[in-house]
Structure 1
């Protein structure tokens, strides 16, 4: 068995041209060497696996090379690497300082590469300051770290800082293509793209994943083999899920999510990937932004085709829903239900089924039409409950058929009520009943030429129209009678002093107010209900006072105050209730909109909330 060298070591860059994705830094170092403008202390900082140590080694060899140097010369005696993770004490730094004083035997410079320099102790940093600032002319220090913020400022000020960036997915994929060609491996471009994405900007991680996948699949590297080995969700998963969402196919969507969970994937990973998928679809909506996708050409085509099936409003709402689920996933007690609920909501965005009618249902008058049997039953009930007195005179003219209606029109005339009972096939008859037993009855006067008839009570239909006394305007007697009635009407006054005026409390008024608001909401009148809830009504005697921040809300409430006052008067049994609505722009400050304003308002009622927040280090 031959000794295997991992790709990260085998293909470590030997020149600045071999460094992947750091062209700005490598060009700067090349120019500094060419112009003899190299600082005595350099700090290479950035994430793992991006080429910090490789660039330090390449720089150490380049500054010692001349025209007589062999290409394979490594200058091992001039390069000293120190791991600060295990050599972080003051004594280690003192030994380093002692070695710095000795000039190189071969070459021009002695290069000291201190890796993970942020692991040095505070005392070691302080001991290193003087030598780092004024080293011998033959010494150059190259410090490398992944956590620049842990280095003290006095060290940073003495170094020339180079910030290494993460390697892009495109650059990593291109480098993997070159390595696959050198190794004689047939690799699918999509498979290498997934490896580059999984590496998260680190070239060393990408090469390690590449070695693992090659060991799994051999000389042929397919996308399926990569997804199975890395246990990642490929693009097809999200394309299929989006198709189910666009078709409103909730059962298949839930089955797919169950299959994903059964394969060992995390629901959080799935919903976060779905949000990213929606983002990529939005990027593909416009051709100029398609290049923002870091995917292969075949996958870009799939993204573009599916993006044309979606609307921009749908994508915006879908991203918002998926992102909200992603943010609340860790704090949820039932995480699977949270993701399933999010998926059902996503599949319902474009659903255009039958919607619920929230308008009040109006029953047509034809609903109340009675059959002849029901009409006779209603007539018997009417005769049993109302004493009927027949008049001595009634017209014999036939009456046209009239539909049965239960909308009584009541008009008082000289403290008596005349009940007119008619049928479609029978002549009209006037039947008079008294409201109070002590009131005198008033008989109807008819023209002398009208013959007298006696109605038959057995054929009375339930058409009840309570009308006032009819006066004929064709005779002298009728004109005189009409004049007398008009004079009596002028003398009559409505007595409203005996209406109920029971006292009530502010709490009872507010309870009745809320009941009316709920009644409006159930009927679908949301706007006026929200206006009535905008301010808490205050009671001043029998006057209900309201304050609104603008005149628009005042006008809306004033238009709807009739039914409101009628409801309150009946509910509270007091007919002196009135409304007093004023506009006060300062009322706007009473409402708390943001979480901080709500917290401040709660703190006014209970100052101990601030103590609780500080004790447990809580955040809004």
Structure 2
């Protein structure tokens, strides 16, 4: 920055970049910025035309457009290609010579591809692609060229966007003529297919098959659009003949006939008034009979998901039904006859039976918690001391089932259960603190000062 702010009198710094946004703002603020844009195709063609006139070279305008497009905005590259073509082909540069020497596919190839696609002619399209590969062109080069051709067709559909396409008036006329044949649905769909294939080309294991699939999809766009529009067109009798209208007609026809017969028979007026409401409730009764899809509602939500309205199927439904039947059969009902006094042996035997039942049910975590806890009987209370809070929470979640099991096997209905975490032997009930390596070393040095002296003699640093 100091050099840029105060440069020497004899020096001028010229900084060139294609990514101006990556330069620091402090540097940009100390520079005078000149933006150089790409040279357009038309400007490059005019420059090459001037050189050809001076050198006495007869060059077609379409051939110069191919050179300019191939240069991609670089005038030096276009001049190099022009010199090579003159050295090889002489003073006459036609469109065919330029495309052949620069190894560029001409416009006519892509025009033929689109014409075949508009006719849904898949075989000729695949044969044309095979001919392109036989001429030595790369499949990816053909794919990108097809995308550019479709883009140019989209541009040539409207006069406002014609300025976005640099070509000779003759070529623009060809594009406009083909764009008039292809509708918007075809062009946009083909562009989408080509763009998707372009992103998948490098990772594809069958690149030729990928391009052939693209051509088949593009050829199928017209038939797909025609089928879609045929489905959208309603038949002439569609509005006139609704399906539900004829069904109530025959049902209602026989029923008013007895009403009309009954009305002339009685002379007084109140009788037909009472008769009229009688047949009116009759029609809804036969309608209710066919609406009975009861077999569909046989699947019943089971298990805990019943509250949420979730239906289970297969093994999940079978397991849920079995669990439900077990829970309903094993209802925890206390027997008033259980009045025996509990003993330590009875409690231990009952707990062992409960552990074995849980082991058979593959509840390994609960079995481990039960085997690790210490069980003591104090009066009518069974006290279980576990190692940590997680085991305490687990046993509390199984408290109801465990307590009923103990009461049932000890024949004591007044038995109670208490689960607590055992207290540490040193009396420190605070939470366990995890120390870092440095803190662990300092604690060790407090207990053994010789360790710190050894560290100092070895000239070791604490990380």
Give the TM-score of the pair, scaled to structure 1.
0.37
Relative to its length, the structure with more helix (as a share) is 2
Relative to its length, the structure with more strand (as a share) is 1
